[in-house]
Amino acid sequence: MPTSEEGPRAYGSQRKDGVLCVTRAGTEWLSTGWNGGRIRDDRAFNISVPEGWSTRDLEGYVLERLSGAGFCDSNAGSVTAPVLLTGVDLSHARGATCGPVTVYATAGVSNPAALPMEPRDGSLSDPGVTHDEPETPGTVNLIVGTTCRLDPGAFENLLAVVAEAKARTLLARTGFPGTTTDAIVIGHDPDARSRPYSGSATRVGAATRAAVRDALCAAVDARYDAGDATLPESVADATYGCRTDVRSTVFRP
């Protein structure tokens, strides 16, 4: 069985064989990753894939990994929980909790996605990709859970709050707002007391921003300060990555 690392957190965790399982009964999730969208399940997963990994049968691969780690039956026919995939070793995963919010983060920046404020007038046919897409992307993955129930609109807005906090944190720590393969899963308790809003000035929004910042900073430190990896100073220095050098056409509505 997987070894438990669960403490007093509302969203507990277990980690085994390169799989991080985030658990809370009855959670409704919203995922931007593979098999994404709205999902009602007791668990969400972040799976570390090996170097050189490549497969077209993602569901089969995910089921094999979850079964091998003891998180599902080997005869399971489909994946029912949200799943994220990363090239980062899950020993570098870090969590943070603040008020009603718990965050789990992994951070690899081998494939940064730069957004220059002074683009070079590139084209959409050549969006500034300087290397081939990675077979094993670094990826910044975030699993965020709140013990609140968020009304329609507020639940989706929390995704924007997480993305903003992620971009601000990564800019400060790495110089990039994200990577080419970032993904986010958010969860709430559909049976708890309802909250109509989740913006930055709300309790759940402020807690989310703080926990994303702190979990992500710790994950970056674990991967780069304590590990043997080096943060790239530019897209050109990275193993993979892209710059969005194309300009749009601005108009007055």
CATH of the domain at 224: 3.60.70
**Weakest mean pLDDT among 2-16, 131-145, 209-223:** 2-16
Please tell me the predicted confidence (pLDDT) of residue 7. Answer: 40
Residue 77 pLDDT level (bands cut at 50, 70, 90): confident
Residue 4 lies inside a defined structural domain of this protein: no
Q: How confident is the model at residue 126 (pLDDT cuts 50, 70, 90)?
A: low
pLDDT at 80: 93
How far, in Å, CA of 71 to CA of 168, rounded? 34
Q: What is the mean pLDDT of residues 65-81?
A: 89
Q: CB atoms < 10 A from the CB of 236, how many?
A: 11
Q: Predicted confidence band at 92 (pLDDT cuts at 50, 70, 90)?
A: very high
Residue 131 domain-assigned? yes
> What would the pLDDT profile of 103-123 be if each residue is shown by its tens digit?
999 999 999 999 999 988 777
The more confidently predicted of residues 248 and 31 is 31
Lowest-confidence pick of 16-25, 63-72, 120-129: 120-129
Report CA 150 to chain centroid distance, whole Å: 20
65-74, 99-108, 215-224: which range is least confident on average?
65-74
pLDDT of amino acid 128: 55
Better-scored residue on pLDDT, 128 or 147: 147
Number of domains composing the chain: 1
The residue segments making up the domain with residue 173 are 12-243
Q: Which of 186, 147, 193, 188 is nearest to 164 (CA)?
A: 186
Give a yes or no: residue 253 inside a domain.
Answer: no
Q: What is the structure's pLDDT at 51?
A: 79
Measure the CA–CA gap between 133 and 81, rounded to whole angstroms.
27
Residue 110, domain member (yes or no): yes
The whole-number pLDDT of residue 227 equals: 66
Looking at per-residue confidence, does 125 or 151 come out higher?
151
Strand partners, 44: 22
Q: Considering the domain boundaries, does residue 168 fall inside one?
A: yes
Segment among 76-80, 101-105, 142-146 with least mean pLDDT: 76-80
Contacts of 113 (CB under 8 A, 6+ apart): 176, 177, 178, 179, 180, 182, 241, 242, 244
Strands 94-98 and 101-107: antiparallel
